Amino acid sequence: MSSAARLVCILAALAPLVAFGDEPPAGADPSSRVVVDKNTHTHITTISVAKELPIEIQTHIGSGITCAPTMSITYEQRNDVARVEGTIENPACAACTGDYTIAVRIRDASGESKTLEFPGTWRRADDRPVKFTTDYPVGANVDVLSVRSKTLRCVCAESGEPASGGAPKP
């Protein structure tokens, strides 16, 4: 079959769709559309068919226990490190694990301020606060302006599945 004959067959198959115009026929599924674009200058007709497909996504949200951790910190500069001592408490659940980011704001010798970020993790198996002491490198010839907890997240362990205890990992 020649390419011209194939083109005639394709156009013959699409001809009924042109009759729909820009609106779906009465009683048609409202989530499907046929759009016909008739360009009179180029004599090209473009037919687009669209159908909306609903997709359902199911999520699983843990046991419903909400973590509510808090972190208190103290810091001091020791030459080229910032020593941070912290305590993480979570009254919502005993066994839990989480992560945090410590943000250290410094001023270098040129007077420019920068923020250095250091990630960390923590885990506990009981309801006692987690205490940690960590030295974060800030570089030579800088002044530590402030240290704060930027993020603090936690997940309570499922009942019957205690988290293994321990201090945070710097």
Looking at the structure, tell me whether residues 125 and 156 fall in a common domain. Answer: yes
Q: What is the pLDDT of residues 31-76, one digit of tens each?
A: 667 777 777 777 787 777 777 767 776 655 555 567 889 999 999 9
Report which of residues 83 and 48 the model is more confident about: 83
What average pLDDT does this structure show over 83-100? 92
The pTM of the full predicted model, rounded to 2 decimals, is 0.56
Looking at the structure, tell me whether residues 87 and 152 fall in a common domain. Answer: yes
Measured CA to CA, the distance from residue 97 to residue 123 in angstroms comes to 4
What average pLDDT does this structure show over 6-26? 57
Specify if 127 maps to a domain.
yes
Specify if 138 maps to a domain.
yes
What pLDDT was estimated at residue 87?
95
Measured CA to CA, the distance from residue 21 to residue 170 in angstroms comes to 65
Specify if 62 maps to a domain.
no
Query: Considering its fold, how many domains does the chain have in total?
Result: 2
Output phi, psi for 163, to 5 deg. Answer: -75, 145
* Parent domain of 101: 70-169
